[in-house]
Amino acid sequence: MAQAIQMHLNQALMRIPRRAESADRSTLAATYVAAGSFSAMINSADHQILFGRRGTGKTHALLHLQELLERTGDLAIYLDLRTIGSTGGLYANPAVSPAQRGTQLLVDTLESVHDRLFAHAVDGHSPNQDALLRGLDALVSAATEVEVIGETEQEQTFGDAVERECSAELSIAPNVKAGARHRTSATASSRRKRTGVEQHRVLFGPLSRAVQAVADGVRPARLWLLLDEWSSVPLDLQPFLADLLRRSVLPVRGATVKIAAIEHRARFFVPLADDYLGIEVGSDAASAVSLDDALVFDQSPEDAQAFFRELFASHVRPILASMLRTAVPGASVDAAFHTGAFPELVRAAEGVPRDAINIAALAAQHARGEKITTAHVRRAARDWYLRDKQAAISRDEDAERVLGALVDEVVGRRRCRTFLLPARDRTAAIDTLCDARLLHILRRGVVDPRRPGRLYDGYAIDYGCYVSLLAGDTAKNIPADVFTFDKAVVDLPRLCRSS
């Protein structure tokens, strides 16, 4: 009997969905585990940007929030920005000007929001259906006037001759535009140069009024706009969408916006000569909340274990019940692991739920019908690192070089995996490595007691990376995390010069 339950537990661990959008809403509500104060924060009616690396639970948090809001009678529109528009690939098509792609993106986004609201209105859920439908009419006509305008400089090459064509659209008043064109010669185009998003502005016309009319139409309910997968929008178009939100939705009474994004793949703000485009995160009434930070349990391994124990229990429970068609008394997740193996899994996950789920599934596979051991977890973490994480930076030479230099110094020479880096040495390559979950920030703003003016961040090299380097030697203990100044500070510029 115990053997059979063991087998089922391992199978259930392998079957946990890897992405929140693949589970149904009631399962998501039942499996959600609150991470620290994060849940309380995102439940507030403030406009917020929810930052989190891949797999940290952004989609699960937004869908769970949607479920809670609907239960209290509010109207929550969840929009996965990967799915808007029908013009496949247009937003990232370099042959189309940013102004055209931006306009299309804004119009498609408004259309998707409109469609969801319209479905709600005709479902008859709205107590003030007429007002909502009038607001939606206004939204449709306002959407036709939304336009990104700006300069595009084209550089065209034909043989030895280089010619230029500049075109600029000037906005004189809303809806009145004058076009100017200057061309020095004419030949076939073979190369294009863009002046960049900085030259663009967005015309909104009466959009803000229309959104207010919609929000008034759903009263007394509150209108929530939950935008997921922000970072899937091409980087150069993100400020346009942010600008649309800042000017047309953020000021609306009775509306709240939540955006889920990956921090270093998000661009909310572009300064202009006399103004700016987009949202100034932190002001503009939109604050940032970080799932990455909420899931760092560096100071308390017990909290980390409690969070992941609950997460696995909540996911495994419904799967076991459907497999066995009966409740299994006393079948806890701990029963799947030998002593010491579950804390090892929590360390290997480095605070990322999807990595925890994938590593647990691989470990359960290695264990077959037996209890999972520490060696299974380490092998699984190594496989997951090689299969998923390492490949993510294989085309980024700079990030690869920085990781190589850090691994040589920290793992190779110092025989540990944690280190301190002056906050000012944080480069784009370090951000890329953090996004790819090859480095993890465990502590921010560590102060050197001898030089209090200098701030450092405490990092760990990914557990999977560490154990993959110790292949064959995995029975040894992983060293404890050390952040003492005389041992942990790394001079990255020097390391990179000498590597």
Ligand X SMILES: Nc1ncnc2c1ncn2[C@@H]1O[C@H](COP(=O)(O)OP(=O)(O)OP(=O)(O)O)[C@@H](O)[C@H]1O
> Interface residues with ligand X (CB under 6 A)?
17-20, 31-33, 35, 52, 54-60, 311, 353-354, 357
Q: Which helix (H) or strand (E) holds 29?
A: helix 25-31
Shortest Å, Cβ 17 to Mg ion: 12
Which of Mg ion, ligand X, none is residue 254 near (CB under 5 to 8 Å by kind)? Answer: none
- Of 32 and 224, nearer to ligand X (C-beta) is 32
**Cα separation of 222 and 69, whole Å?**
9
> Taking CB within 5 to 8 Å according to partner kind, which of ligand X, Mg ion, none is near residue 31?
ligand X
Distance CA 416, CA 471 (A): 15
Q: Which residues pair with 155 in a beta bridge?
A: 164
Q: Which does 347 bind (CB under 5 to 8 A by kind): Mg ion, ligand X, none?
A: none
Using the minimum distance from each CB to ligand X, give the nearer residue, 34 or 96. 34
* Beta carbon of residue 333, minimum distance to ligand X (angstroms, whole number): 13
Closest CA to 309 of 342, 347, 331: 342
The one of ligand X, Mg ion, none whose footprint includes residue 357, by CB under 5 to 8 A per kind, is: ligand X
- Residue 18 interacts with, from Mg ion, ligand X, none (CB under 5-8 Å by kind): ligand X
Q: Tokens representing 4?
A: 């059979």
Nearer to ligand X, 67 or 280 (CB): 67
Count each helix (H run) and each strand (E run) in the chain, helices first.
Answer: 19, 15
- Name which of Mg ion, ligand X, none residue 401 binds, using a CB cut-off of 5 to 8 Å depending on partner kind: none
CB of 353 to ligand X, least distance (A): 4
Q: Considering beta carbons, is residue 23 or 416 the nearer one to Mg ion?
A: 23
Closest by CA position to 341, among listed 319, 363, 320: 363
Q: Which is nearer to Mg ion, 117 or 261 (CB)?
A: 261
The amino acid at residue 37 is S
The nearest distance, CB 236 to Mg ion, in angstroms, is 22
Residue 245 CA to residue 256 CA, distance in Å, equals 10
In the list ligand X, Mg ion, none, the entry touching 54 (Cβ below 5 to 8 angstroms by class) is ligand X
Q: Which phi-psi region, left, alpha or beta, contains residue 283 (left: φ > 0; alpha: ψ -120 to 50)? A: beta
Nearer to ligand X by C-beta: 260 or 467? 260
CB of 262 or CB of 286, closer to Mg ion: 262
Q: Considering beta carbons, is residue 236 or 292 the nearer one to ligand X? A: 292
Kindly give the pairing relationship between strand 255-261 and strand 47-51.
parallel
CB of 323 to ligand X, least distance (A): 18
Shortest distance, CB of residue 326 to ligand X, whole angstroms? Answer: 24
Minimal distance in Å, beta carbon 311 to ligand X? 5
Give the span between the Cα atoms of 463 and 344, in whole angstroms: 10
Query: 136 or 381: whose CB is closer to ligand X?
Result: 381
Q: Are 50 and 58 in contact (CB under 8 A)?
A: yes
The whole-angstrom separation of Cα 406 and Cα 413 is 10
389 binds, among ligand X, Mg ion, none (CB under 5 to 8 A by kind): none
Beta bridge partners, 51, equal 261, 290
Picking from 464, 324, 442, the residue whose alpha carbon sits closest to that of residue 385 is 464
Angle at 403 between CA 400 and CA 406, to 5 degrees: 150
The strands making up 47-51's β-sheet, listed across from edge to edge, are: 75-80, 223-228, 255-261, 47-51, 286-290
Length of the chain equals 499
Residue 80 C-beta: closest distance to Mg ion, Å: 8
Cα angle 451, 423, 49; round to 5: 135
Please say whether the beta carbons of 402 and 430 come within 8 A.
Answer: yes
Q: Which residue's CB is nearer to ligand X, number 48 or number 199?
A: 48
Residue nearest to Mg ion (CB): 59
Task: Specify the residue, 56 or 152, whose C-beta has the smaller distance to ligand X.
Answer: 56
Closest distance to ligand X from the beta carbon of 191 (Å): 35
Peptide linkage before 174 cis (omega within 30 of 0): no
Least distance in Å: CB of 276 to Mg ion?
Answer: 28
Question: Is-contact 374 343, C-beta < 8 A?
Answer: no
Indicate the residue whose CB is closest to ligand X. Answer: 57
Other CB atoms within 10 A of residue 449 CB:
7
Cβ 486 to ligand X shortest distance, Å: 37
Q: Which residues bind Mg ion (CB under 5 A)?
A: 59
> Cα separation of 223 and 216, whole Å?
9
Residue 52 contacts which entry, Mg ion, ligand X, none (Cβ below 5-8 A, type-dependent) = ligand X
- Could you give the angle at the alpha carbon of 71 between the alpha carbons of 68 and 76, nearest 5°? 65
